[in-house]
Amino acid sequence: MDNEVLRRYARLIAVKGGGILPGQSVVITAGLDQPEFVLMLAEECYAAGAAEVEVDWGYPPLEKLALERESVETLGAVKPWQERRLRYRADTLPVMIYLESDDPDGLAGADHAKRARVQQLRYKVTKPIRDEMENRYQWSIAAVPGLKWARKVFPGLEDGEAVEALWRAILAGSRALEGDPCENWTRHNAFLKDRCGRLNSMGLTRLEYKSANGTDFSVGLIPQALFLGGEEPNHVNGAVYNPNIPSEEVFVTPRAGDAEGLVVATRPLSYRGQMIEDFWFRFEGGRVAEYGASRNEALLGTMLCMDEGAARLGECALVPYDSPIRNGGVMFYNTLFDENAACHLALGDGYTSNIRDYEKYSLAELRAMGCNESMIHVDFMIGSADLAVTGITASGERVPIFRDGGWAF
């Protein structure tokens, strides 16, 4: 891939993604797949004014090996230095940038029940600190190709060609292949802001979903909730950042415990390094009452039992079927991209930043309004060419939101 194109992509992630302000610290979390790009991104972070840039490297094969060889107690222990580092970040609030490149099947065959127990143990220590950080720092998730990921997406190509093809798909989906990516995102953010404004003016209290594949579902909305999309403000320092690159969604936080009916996934889900395929959920009384999958159904069950809130919804996102990512014809096997090819829901934690004037409330008050609480937040895709989404207002008026998979207004 042309270095100048990659340079512009790195600048997009630093400037529009992280929204870095002069003097801020930056932490980049990345795999070992594209070290040259990580260096380029660090350079762009410094150019944007970062005072320091730290890189946390990860390698899933090592994680899988540790799962095989170490005990739950060893893996689940948060060491004092790890707790102090997290505490330091809660105090200093660095910009967090995450570069995804992992093999979608990288943890296939791992003991997912053991991994869940490990996460539950660590969560007891990390949750209070992460709660202090919520809505107070900038973060952004983007992607670079990993070789095994590229082989999964383009199995018929030689390794180098597959990586190049995945680069092009990532850049095209991120609006970073043609023109000036930062200018592209300025226009795109304006479009998403317009969609949000229209939805927020409707006074919706409920959404209904219907599709020929069997989806027949409704979910309640929190009265104070707002639809958001694209860039978001950091009310602590005034920075503006884009949490996801790419992002085609307009999303809202539903009311926890208010969901009924059947939803059928339209794309596979890569969860914790393993693929879940052909799955569905039936909601009753706001929780998943039944579920099924043709592949990794047991993993789906483990996910739903992570904690009390894991079987409730935390997000409803609207994405036109006629989106650039779906139109690109690539199945990424990666939620960051596949969720932006179709309408989706998320099980688990609800975004408290979707509540009007959220900064005026405590986290406990935001939870009491109906923002679900969970250690997981897992997006799954339900969009299709015939999906209809109808909004219901407080007066009972039914407003077409999506028809035939796209915006109805």
Judge residue 78's burial from the number of C-beta atoms within 10 Å of its C-beta, 0-12 exposed, 13-18 middle, 19 or more buried: middle
CA dihedral for 221, 378, 306, 84, sign (positive or negative): negative
pTM: 0.91
Q: Do 146 and 80 fall within a single domain?
A: yes
Residue 141 shares a structural domain with residue 202: no
Q: In this structure, are residues 49 and 24 in contact, taking their beta carbons and an 8 Å threshold?
A: yes
- Check whether residue 27 and residue 103 sit in a common domain: yes
Residue 246 CA to residue 334 CA, distance in Å, equals 12
Report H helices in 225-309.
Answer: 297-304
Q: pLDDT category, 112, cuts 50, 70, 90?
A: confident
Residues 15 and 78 in one domain: yes
Between the CA atoms of 13, 15, 16 and 21, what dihedral angle is there, to the nearest 10 degrees? 130
| Least confident window among 1-15, 153-167, 178-192, 317-331 | 317-331
Considering the domain architecture, whether residues 11 and 30 belong to the same structural domain is answered as yes
Checking if the pLDDT of 223 tops 90, the result is yes
Which of 121, 144, 173 is at the close of a domain?
Answer: 173
The residue segments making up the domain with residue 244 are: 181-407
User: Last residue of some domain: 149, 173, 197?
Assistant: 173
Do residues 169 and 224 share a domain? no
One domain, residues 36 and 92: yes
pLDDT digits (tens, 9 = 90+) for 16-58: 999 999 999 999 999 999 999 999 999 999 999 999 999 999 9
Reply yes or no on whether the pLDDT at 270 is more than 90: no
| Pick from 230, 228, 251, 227: nearest CA to 240 | 230
Q: Is 13 in the same domain as 122?
A: yes
If asked whether residues 196 and 150 sit together in one domain, one would say: no
pLDDT at position 108 over 90:
no
Yes or no: say if 106 and 273 are a contact pair by the CB < 8 Å rule: yes
297 and 368 together in one domain:
yes
Residue with tokens 């940038």: 97
At which residue do the structure tokens 């801020």 appear?
A: 24
Same domain for 118 and 263, yes or no, is no
196-216 in b/e form (b: 16+ CB < 10 A) is: beebbeeebbbbbbbbebebe
Which of the residue ranges 20-29, 103-112, 123-132 would you say has the lowest mean pLDDT?
103-112
Instruction: Please tell me whether residues 131 and 240 are part of one structural domain.
Output: no
Domains identified in the chain, total number: 2
pLDDT at 273 over 90: no
CATH code, 40: 3.40.1830.10
Instruction: Among 173, 195, 213, identify where a domain stops.
Output: 173
